[in-house]
Chain A
Amino acid sequence: MFCSYIIPSIGRSSLAYAVKSVLEQDFSQADFEIIVVNDSGTSLPNRDWFSSQHVRVINTNKCERSYARNSGAALAKGEYLWFLDDDDWLLPGALESFWQLANQEPQAVWLYGGIQIVDEHGGILGEINSGLSGNCFAQIMGGAWAPLQASMIQARAFFELGGFSPFIRGTEDEDLCRRAAYHGEFANTPDTVACLFRGQTWNTSTNYLRAPEDTKFSRDLILSKPNVFQRLLASANSSYWYGRVLRVYLSTIAWNVKHRRLFTALSRLFYSLAFSVLSIKHFLSREYWLGVKADHVPETLHFVMQNYERSSSKQTNLNAT
C-alpha cells in the first residue's frame, strides 16, 4: 500500500470534509487508506464515508493528540504516512503529486509541498512553500516550515524516529520534522497540496501556552544527539543559515542556564564558539546577522497571519485547552 492517511478527530463536523478530500482524489496508480482516530470519547455519528473500503475508524479514549496519531500510525499499512487534522483538507491532485515525487526521490524520508491558508469564506490568506530538499537540518532547526498537513512521511523512518513525542505539546509536529531532518533527506514539490483553515471561527485543541517552552525543549533534546554539529554544518548553505544555526545554539545556552543544567549549557557554549569560528567568513555579511537576529524565518505562517486581524484571536489562544 502506498499511503495511509491518519486523521485524529475530536469529533468536529469538518472531519467529513477532510475524509472526503482524500476519497475524492483522482488517483488509481496505487492503493491508499484512511485511518480516522476518534479521540472524542464518544462514538462518531454515522456518515456515508464510514462504509468506504478505504476507511477504518479506531476509538481512543481522550488521549493527547500525539498518542492518537501514533495509534493511527500503528494500524497503518502504507509505505508512507500522511497526518491530517480534522479541520484541514487535501487539494485535488495532491496524491498524484506525491506519487510522482516519491518515485523520483525514493530515499527521501519527508516529502512535502505547498500549503494554502484559507478563511471561512474560502478566501486565500496566503500560500507557503519553503521549497527545501536534501539535507535541510539547519533550515528546519532554524525555524523553516515544512507543514505536517502538506507532508508525507516515510513509514519506516517514522517508526525509527519513535513517532510523535508525547512530551512535546502544541508543536509536536515541528518536533517530528526536526528529528526527521536530523535522520534523513527531504523532497519538495512546488505543487500546493493541502489547505489549512485559519478563519475567524477557527478554534484549536492545541495548548499553545506550552508551545514556546516545548519548542525549546524539543530543540535541546535534538542538540544532545551525536553528530548534530556536523550535520548542521553540512546543511547551512548560506550566510543566513550560518547565522540561524548560531542563534539556535545561543538560545539553548540561555534555556539550559534557566533550567540549571550548567554542564549542558557549557557544552552548548563550546559549540557556539566553535560555530562562530567556522563562520568567520560570513561575519561581514548582512544576511548572517539577519539570521542571528530574526524572530521568524521567511515562508512561515507568522508572515501570513500577521496581516490578518483575528477578532477573537487572543481569547482563542488563552482559552485553548
Chain B
Amino acid sequence: MTSTVFCSTVIPTVGRPTLSRAVQSVLEQEHPSFDFEVIIVNDSGKPLQEAPWQHPERVQVIDTYRRERSIARNTGAAVATGKYLHFLDDDDWLAPGAFQHFWELSQASDSRWLYGMTQLIDRNEKPTIQLKHNLHGNCFVQVMAGEWIPIQSSLIEKSVFMRIGGFNPRLAGPEDIDLLRRALLEEDIAETPNIVAYVIRGEEGSTTDYQQHAQASRWAREMILETPNAFHRMRSSALSPYWHGRMLRIYLTSSIWNIQHRRLFSAISRLFSSMACIFTAGSHIVSGDFWKAVAKPYASITFQRGIEAANLG
C-alpha cells in the first residue's frame, strides 16, 4: 500500500448544524489498525461556525465558493491522501465501527468499491428501512437497471475515482448513481453485512434537485451505453433470465430515448444491441421472468426487501 492513510472522508457542507454530528461520527471510528482523515468542503460561501472538532489533526477544512455538490466533492477528493475515498453528506452519519468493517472487508477482498448496509432515516430522523443489497462482484446490469448503493455507505479506491473522472459536475441529483455506474463498468464490488451509515432520504430540505433528476439520469445512462465495453460488461453480469430481460429493456428504452432526441444513428445502434440481447439470451427467452423484466419499469429489489422486513418487524 502506497498511502498510510486508509480512508479520507469528504463532507461537503452548506453550513447545516447537523455537520457536527457527521464529523463526530467519523472521528469516533478510531482504531489501532488504520489511520483516516476528514476533509470538510465548506461550500456555503461563509466561514464555518467554530466547533471543537475543527481542531484535531485529522480534520481539514477547504472553502469552495458556492458550487455544485459534485464540484465540492471532487475538490475534496483532489486534496485527499487516503487509499479509499468516503463521501458523507452533512446531514448523514456513520455507524459505530463502520471503518473497522470496511478495514476487514478490504483485507479479505480485491474489490475496489466496498459497501455496507444502510439504515435510511426520514426527515424527522426516524428510522424507516434498511438496505441490504446482496450484490457482489460484477453488478453492472443491476446498477444500470436502477439499483442504488448509497455513496455514504461506500468506500471507493481513490485511483478508481480519479480514473473514471470523479463526479460529473453537470449532473445535479443523480451524480451518485452515475458515479456508481461508471465505476462498476470497470470494477467489482464487495459488501460487508453490517450497517455502516445512517442516511436521510426525503425531498423536503434536501439540496438534491429531484425535478431535474429523471431527465439528467437518462442522459447520463446514455453516455455510459456509448462506451465500447458496456454491452459485454452487462452481459457478464446478467446471470438469470430476469437480468437478461432487464438488459434488453435498457437497450429498448434507450432506442426510444434516442429517437425522441433525434439521434437516429444512435437509435439504430441501440436497436442493433437489443437484437444482440435477444440472441445472447438464448433459452432464457422462453422464461416468464425474462418477459416480465422486459415489460415493467424497474422497482428496486433491495427497497422491496427492506419494506417487507420493516412491515414484518
A residues sitting closer than 8 Å to B (CB atoms) are 58-61, 63-64, 67-68, 70-71, 74-77, 159-160, 162-163, 165-167, 226, 259-264, 266-267, 270
Kindly state the separation between the CA atoms of A61 and B228 in the bound complex, as whole angstroms: 31
Whole-angstrom distance between the Cβ of A181 and the nearest chain B Cβ: 18
Q: Tell me which of B65, B168, B265 contacts A74 (CB under 8 A).
A: B65
Q: Is the CB of B166 within 8 A of A75?
A: no
Q: Tell me which of B67, B77, B78, B266 contacts A159 (CB under 8 A).
A: B67
Q: Which of B4-60 contact A (CB under 8 A)?
A: none
Indicate if B63 sits at the interface (CB-CB under 8 A).
yes
B272 contact set on A, CB distance < 8 A: 263
Please give me the residue from chain B that is nearest to A72 by CB atom.
B75
Whole-angstrom distance between the Cβ of A107 and the nearest chain B Cβ: 22
Q: Is the CB of A263 within 8 A of B169?
A: no
Q: Tell me which of B79, B165, B166, B168 contacts A58 (CB under 8 A).
A: B79
Q: Is the CB of B74 within 8 A of A267?
A: no
A70 contact set on B, CB distance < 8 A: 71, 74-75, 78
B310 contact set on A, CB distance < 8 A: none
Given contacts A261-B228, A264-B265, 12 further A-B contacts (CB under 8 A): A61-B78, A67-B74, A67-B78, A67-B166, A74-B67, A74-B72, A74-B74, A75-B62, A159-B68, A166-B162, A167-B165, A266-B265
A71 contact set on B, CB distance < 8 A: 74-75, 78-79
Q: Tell me which of B162, B168, B264, B265 contacts A162 (CB under 8 A).
A: B168
Indicate if B300 sits at the interface (CB-CB under 8 A).
no
Whole-angstrom distance between the Cβ of B265 and the nearest chain A Cβ: 4
Interface size class of B (residues with CB under 8 A): 20 to 34
B109 contact set on A, CB distance < 8 A: none
Top 10 closest pairs, chain A to chain B, by CB: A267-B265, A263-B269, A60-B78, A74-B64, A74-B75, A71-B78, A162-B170, A71-B75, A166-B165, A263-B265
Q: Is the CB of B75 within 8 A of A166?
A: no
Known: A74-B72, A165-B165. A270 touches B265 (CB 8 A): yes
Q: Tell me which of A58, A64, A74, A264 contacts B71 (CB under 8 A).
A: A74
Whole-angstrom distance between the Cβ of A2 and the nearest chain B Cβ: 14
27 sample A-B contacts, Cβ–Cβ < 8 Å, listed by A number: A58-B79, A59-B79, A60-B78, A60-B79, A63-B162, A67-B162, A67-B166, A68-B78, A75-B62, A75-B63, A75-B64, A77-B65, A159-B68, A162-B169, A166-B162, A166-B165, A167-B165, A259-B228, A260-B228, A262-B269, A263-B266, A263-B269, A264-B265, A264-B266, A264-B269, A267-B264, A267-B265
B75 contact set on A, CB distance < 8 A: 70-71, 74-75
B68 contact set on A, CB distance < 8 A: 159
Kindly state the separation between the CA atoms of A312 and B165 in the bound complex, as whole angstroms: 33
Most-contacted residue by chain A among B67, B77, B166 (CB, 10 A): B67
Indicate if B80 sits at the interface (CB-CB under 8 A).
yes
B74 contact set on A, CB distance < 8 A: 67, 70-71, 74
Residue-wise, chain B 188-219 has the 8 Å CB interface mask toward A (1 for contact) of 00000000000000000000000000000000
Residue-wise, chain B 71-88 has the 8 Å CB interface mask toward A (1 for contact) of 110110111110000000
Kindly state the separation between the CA atoms of A264 and B268 in the bound complex, as whole angstroms: 10
B170 contact set on A, CB distance < 8 A: 160, 162
A262 contact set on B, CB distance < 8 A: 269
Q: Is the CB of A58 within 8 A of B62?
A: yes
A58 contact set on B, CB distance < 8 A: 62, 79
Whole-angstrom distance between the Cβ of A81 and the nearest chain B Cβ: 11
A63 contact set on B, CB distance < 8 A: 78, 162
Whole-angstrom distance between the Cβ of B76 and the nearest chain A Cβ: 9
A264 contact set on B, CB distance < 8 A: 265-266, 269
Q: Is the CB of A61 within 8 A of B265?
A: no
Q: Is the CB of B166 within 8 A of A61?
A: no
Whole-angstrom distance between the Cβ of B69 and the nearest chain A Cβ: 11
Kindly state the separation between the CA atoms of A259 and B67 in the bound complex, as whole angstroms: 36
Kindly state the separation between the CA atoms of A59 and B75 in the bound complex, as whole angstroms: 10
Q: Is the CB of B266 within 8 A of A163?
A: no
B77 contact set on A, CB distance < 8 A: 67
B65 contact set on A, CB distance < 8 A: 74-77
Please give me the residue from chain B that is nearest to A70 by CB atom.
B74
Kindly state the separation between the CA atoms of A13 and B266 in the bound complex, as whole angstroms: 50
Kindly state the separation between the CA atoms of A77 and B71 in the bound complex, as whole angstroms: 14
Kindly state the separation between the CA atoms of A75 and B75 in the bound complex, as whole angstroms: 9
B64 contact set on A, CB distance < 8 A: 74-75
A261 contact set on B, CB distance < 8 A: 228
A76 contact set on B, CB distance < 8 A: 65
